[in-house]
Amino acid sequence: MVIVMEAGASDEQLAAVLSKIESFGLGSHVSRGEERTIVGLIGDERPFEDTAFEALGGVERVVRILHPAKLASRDFHPADRVIRFPNGAMLGGEHVLVMAGPCAVESAEQLRETAEAVAAHGVRVLRGGAFKPRTSPYSFQGLGEKGLALLRETADDLDMAVVTEVVSPQDVAIVADHADMLQIGARNMANYELLKVAGAAGKPVLLKRGLGSTIDELLQAAEYVLAHGNEHVAVCERGIRTFETATRFTLDINAVPVLKQLTSLPVVIDPSHATGHAPLVPAVARAGVAAGADGLLLEVHPRPAEALSDGAQSLTPAQLGTVVDEVGRIADVLGRRIA
Ligand code: PEP
Ligand code: MN
C-alpha cells in the first residue's frame, strides 16, 4: 500500500500516519518529492481498511499494491493450475474438461441411465445435485445423503469422478466423503463460513460466480478457499443477472479472458444455467471454449421433459454428444484437447 500525502501536508500529519502504520505492526518507507510525500507500507497490509489511513489529516489517497485476492492471482502463481481427479481426468492447462450429468439426482435408475449415457460420450466427471438450492421451498430439494451415495456408487462403476454441490457448512464433511470436487453454487458464493469450511475439507472446489457478483468478488471468494489451505479451486461463470429476459441469466463471456488474465485457477463455463434453454446451450458452450474456458458444466437428462429440476435447460445424451464433438474440434484449433 502506498499513501500519497496532500501537497500541503504538515510534518505532524505525516508523523500521525507513520505512527498509525506502526500501530498495525507494519514498517514504512517515506519518500519526499518536490511537491508530495509518499509513504510506502512494508508488510502485509491486507487486513487493514483503506479508510484507516484515508480518514487521517493530510492524506490525499491510498493506493493498494497487493491485490486482496493475492493467492488466486496470476502474479502470485503465473503457471496455469491443473486439478487432477483420482480417475485421471484433469481440469486446467492444455485440457478442456467436460463435466456433465443431471441437475439433480432423482433416483438410482435416472442417475445410472444418465451417467452411462454421458460416459459413452467420453465424459469422465459426473455432475449431479444431491442438496439442491431451489428458488422455491416447494420445489424438489434433492435426495440429500442418499443422492450422495448414489453418485459415488454410480461414478465408481463407470470410473468417473463426482462433482456435487454443498449448501451448508455442516454438510461439507459428508459431501467431501462422497465427492471428488465440492461445488459451491452461485447463491452461496458469498457464504464465507461455507467457503472456509470447504477450504479446509481437502477436496477440490468448483466455485460458481454469484448472480450479482463482480469478477473481483468471485476472486475474493476463491481467495477464502485458498487461504484456508486448499489450492485446488476452479471458478465458474454461470451467467449473471441483467435486464435481459430472453435467457435465464446472461453469460458474461468477457469473464473468461478476464479471469484467465487475473488468475491461474481453471475457468469453467456453465451454459445450462446461463441460458436456461437447451437449444441455446450448444452455441454458448462452443463460445465458452473458444474464449478459453478450461471446462464445461452441462446438465443432461435422458428425458428432459420428466426432469424434477431444470428440464428446460437439460440436453439429451445425443445433444451432449454433438456438443462434445464440436467443442473438441474448437479445442483442437486452440491447441488443446478434451479431457
Ligand atoms: C447447479 O449447478 O446445480 C446450480 C444450482 O447452479 P447455480 O448455483 O449456478 O445456480
Ligand atoms: Mn440445475
Nearest ligand to the C-alpha atom of residue 135: 1
Written as one letter, the residue type at 212 is: G
**pLDDT at position 210:** 98
**Number of neighbours of residue 216 by Cβ within 10 angstroms:** 13
Helices (H), the chain: 11-23, 51-54, 108-119, 145-157, 172-178, 192-199, 215-227, 255-262, 271-275, 281-290, 317-333
Residue 135 Cα, ligand 2 centroid: separation in angstroms? 11
In this structure, which ligand is nearest to the CA of 249?
A: 1
Q: What is the signed CA dihedral for 56, 60, 64, 65, rounded to 10 degrees?
A: -120
* Residue 1: predicted pLDDT: 86
Residues lining ligand 1, Cβ inside 6 A: 103, 129, 133, 165, 185-187, 208, 238, 270, 273
The reported pLDDT for the residue numbered 68 is 80
Give the pLDDT score at 65. 72
| Residue numbers of the chain with a pLDDT score lower than 70 | none
CA–CA separation, 4 and 62 (whole Å): 6
Among 126, 194, 208, name the best residue to mutate to test ligand 1's pocket (greatest count of ligand atoms within 8 A of Cβ): 208
In this structure, what C-alpha cell is assigned to residue 307?
A: 426432469
Which pLDDT value is given to residue 46? 83
Candidates 205, 121, 188, 111; CA nearest to 154 is 111
Residue ranges of alpha helices (H) inside 127-244 are: 145-157, 172-178, 192-199, 215-227
The candidate with the shortest Cα–Cα distance to 172, out of 197, 145, 135, 142, is 197
Ligand nearest to the CA of 183: 1
pLDDT value at position 169?
A: 97
Q: What are the CA-CA distances from residue 230 to residues 182, 206, 307 (Å)?
A: 12, 12, 34
Neighbours of 33 (CB within 10 A): 9
- Which neighbouring-strand residues pair with 147? none
Atom of ligand 1 nearest to the CA of 310: 3
Output the pLDDT for position 265. Answer: 98
In this prediction, residue 70 carries a pLDDT of: 86
Residue matched to cell numbers 481467495: 223
In the predicted model, what is the mean pLDDT of the chain?
96
Phi, psi of 167 (to 5 degrees): -110, -15
Centre of ligand 1 to C-alpha 86, Å, is 24
The residue to mutate among 132, 270, 301, having the most atoms of ligand 1 within 8 angstroms of its beta carbon, is 270
Closest-CA residue, ligand 1 atom 6, reads 185
pLDDT at residue 75, as a whole number: 87
Q: How far is CA 2 from the centre of its chain?
A: 30
Atom 10, ligand 1: residue with shortest CA distance: 186
Question: 213-220: long-range contacts at Cβ-Cβ below 8 A with a sequence spacing of 24 or more?
Answer: 213/189, 213/240, 215/252, 215/255, 215/258, 215/259, 215/262, 216/69, 217/189, 217/190, 218/189, 218/259, 219/69, 219/72, 219/73, 219/259, 219/262, 219/263, 220/68, 220/69
